[in-house]
Amino acid sequence: MSAAKKSELGVTPLSEDVSAWYNELVFKAELADRGPAKGTMVIRPYGYRIWELLQEQLDQRFKDTGHVNAYFPLFIPQSYLQREAEHVEGFAPELAVVTHGGGKELEEPLVVRPTSETVIGEMYSRWITSYRDLPVLINAWNNVVRWELRPRIFLRTTEFLWQEGHTAHADQAEAMEETLRMFDVYAEFALNVAAIPMVKGEKTPTERFAGAVRTFTIEGMMRDGKALQSGTSHYLGTNFARAFDITYQDADNELQHVHTTSWGMSTRMIGAVILAHGDDQGLVLPPRLAPIQVVIVPIGRGEQGDAPRAKAHELAAELAAAGVRVHVDDRDASPGFKFNDWELKGVPLRVELGPRDLDAGQVLVAQRVGPIDDRGRPVKDTLSFERFVAGVPQRLDDYHDRLVVRAQAYLDEHRGRADDWDTFERLVRTGFADALHCGEEACEDDIKTATTASPRCIPTDGEPEEGACIRCGAPSAYGTRIVFARAY
């Protein structure tokens, strides 16, 4: 059965081996490929279109919250990294270093940016002089490099694409407000665009960004119960302002350090989409990130297919005019082959149109995720051309909502409260465990060794609770249960 299934789809079923499924699917669906240099990836057009749609919708949210885009250099003098002690400690092991340029050895090696706090700190110290210059609300879309020993496409690659927001404020209150605003933007985006309900919370000290005072994270649940950190927002206090001398004259002519924030979301989010929604048949793409939202498959060989094909293109033109991303699959291949292919590629709506449908003025609409019949096949809706075309936007919205409900149900089923160690161990094997913890790093390490689970976050919506640490029995920290899980 499994071998037969794999030969049909070309991909190991998710229900058998999530890791094999993921690796095979990424290639088979032509989302990405491995680059020649170890740890690098090539994002193929189908995968890159997801990124473009993500960029467009996330960028709009940045602009709506008053941010502007800019570009900072790829190369950073090595000495800059060393100015913030925790920052260099966190990033030094992951750096790629340019030692030669223009045929000569450089006097000072250049680091390929792993993140841009340092070079942006330097620029902000030049640009900011007065309280009138604040706040500075800048975002950058770029590529960063963090050396990766165990690369996995989209999830961990030596080079990845992301955006990094960097803001500077007059005081802590305003900077914290910004940190939380972007944290909310990420969670709202994940839910309303990627259809992934996130667990929102603050990182424990060990999991904080190197150089941050506070780090907030959104953690998605993947189909194997693991957590995927999908976006982070950091309050950096005056750490980088002190390291790079970013000061301003306040209204009373006093010199003050600015308070900075940074926040990022990356191509990792494509991995989140694959792993949060996919199934044995392949990808399941949320409509707002789907390169193709509707595929129309005209049926009928040779001349028999001419009229359905012409009608398919006519309907596609109407949908495209209404802003729907639609594709007509008129390849010379069997309908069965095409159905499997678009299933694998996760297209939300598949439309069939044969000669008899054409005569009857109707199409058959199947949904990638939706009601199924007794034989496990999708129930197809028969719709007149007009009703079909007019109804697509609503149908896509409903489809989005269905994915959210399904993902939320999955999260709820695989998240539980652990009041004893056995329950904790059982829960983190298949999902998230909410448990009390002492907050000690040694105890976190101990849990990690025993279960491979780590603290994901202190949930923002956690009820006040205190008691004994789930592992060592010492008094709990944080004032609430924290979420543990295995993580990507």
Sites of contact with a second copy (CB under 8 A): 33, 35-37, 40-45, 48-49, 51-52, 68-77, 80, 92-103, 109-110, 112, 119, 122-123, 126-127, 138, 142-143, 145, 147-149, 158-159, 161
DSSP-derived letter for residue 76 is E
Q: What's the min distance (Å) between Cβ of 182 and a second copy?
A: 17
Query: Is the distance from CB of 485 to CB of 453 less than 8 angstroms?
Result: yes
Q: What's the min distance (Å) between Cβ of 121 and a second copy?
A: 10
- Measured from the CB atom, the residue of 33 and 306 that comes closer to a second copy is 33
Q: What's the min distance (Å) between Cβ of 77 and a second copy?
A: 5
**Furthest-apart CA atoms within the chain: distance in Å:** 83
Q: What's the min distance (Å) between Cβ of 163 and a second copy?
A: 13
- Measured from the CB atom, the residue of 2 and 99 that comes closer to a second copy is 99
- Measured from the CB atom, the residue of 28 and 406 that comes closer to a second copy is 28
CA distance 22 to 155: 11
CA distance 486 to 239: 31
Q: What's the min distance (Å) between Cβ of 322 and a second copy?
A: 18
Give the count of beta carbons closer than 10 Å to the beta carbon of residue 61. Answer: 17
Whether the upstream peptide bond of residue 287 has omega within 30° of 0, thus cis, is no
Q: What's the min distance (Å) between Cβ of 215 and a second copy?
A: 23
- Measured from the CB atom, the residue of 12 and 158 that comes closer to a second copy is 158
Q: What's the min distance (Å) between Cβ of 155 and a second copy?
A: 16
- Measured from the CB atom, the residue of 13 and 291 that comes closer to a second copy is 291
Q: What's the min distance (Å) between Cβ of 32 and a second copy?
A: 9
- Measured from the CB atom, the residue of 113 and 400 that comes closer to a second copy is 113
**Hey, which residues does 256 pair with through a beta bridge?**
248
Q: What angle do CA 338, 307, 399 make, to 5 degrees?
A: 45
User: How distant, in Å, are the alpha carbons of 81, 101, 115, 467, 476 from that of 472?
Assistant: 37, 53, 36, 11, 10
- Measured from the CB atom, the residue of 263 and 432 that comes closer to a second copy is 263
User: How distant, in Å, are the alpha carbons of 147, 213, 216, 237 from that of 210?
Assistant: 16, 9, 13, 12
Write out the two tokens for 22: 């993921």
User: How distant, in Å, are the alpha carbons of 313, 316, 361, 425, 469 from that of 355?
Assistant: 14, 17, 10, 57, 67
Q: What's the min distance (Å) between Cβ of 69 and a second copy?
A: 5
Q: What's the min distance (Å) between Cβ of 345 and a second copy?
A: 14
CA distance 177 to 312: 50
DSSP-derived letter for residue 74 is S
Q: Is 200 helix (H, G, I), strand (E, B) or coil?
A: strand
Residue 159 belongs to what H/E stretch? strand 159-169
Query: Is the distance from CB of 32 to CB of 44 less than 8 angstroms?
Result: yes
- Measured from the CB atom, the residue of 41 and 364 that comes closer to a second copy is 41
- Measured from the CB atom, the residue of 69 and 304 that comes closer to a second copy is 69
Beta strands in 403-487 (DSSP E): 415-417, 432-435, 454-459, 482-485
CA distance 343 to 369: 10
Give the count of beta carbons closer than 10 Å to the beta carbon of residue 275. Answer: 24
Q: What's the min distance (Å) between Cβ of 165 and a second copy?
A: 13
- Measured from the CB atom, the residue of 103 and 376 that comes closer to a second copy is 103
CA distance 312 to 296: 6
- Measured from the CB atom, the residue of 149 and 372 that comes closer to a second copy is 149
- Measured from the CB atom, the residue of 95 and 227 that comes closer to a second copy is 95
CA distance 321 to 396: 16
CA distance 285 to 273: 7
Q: What's the min distance (Å) between Cβ of 52 and a second copy?
A: 6
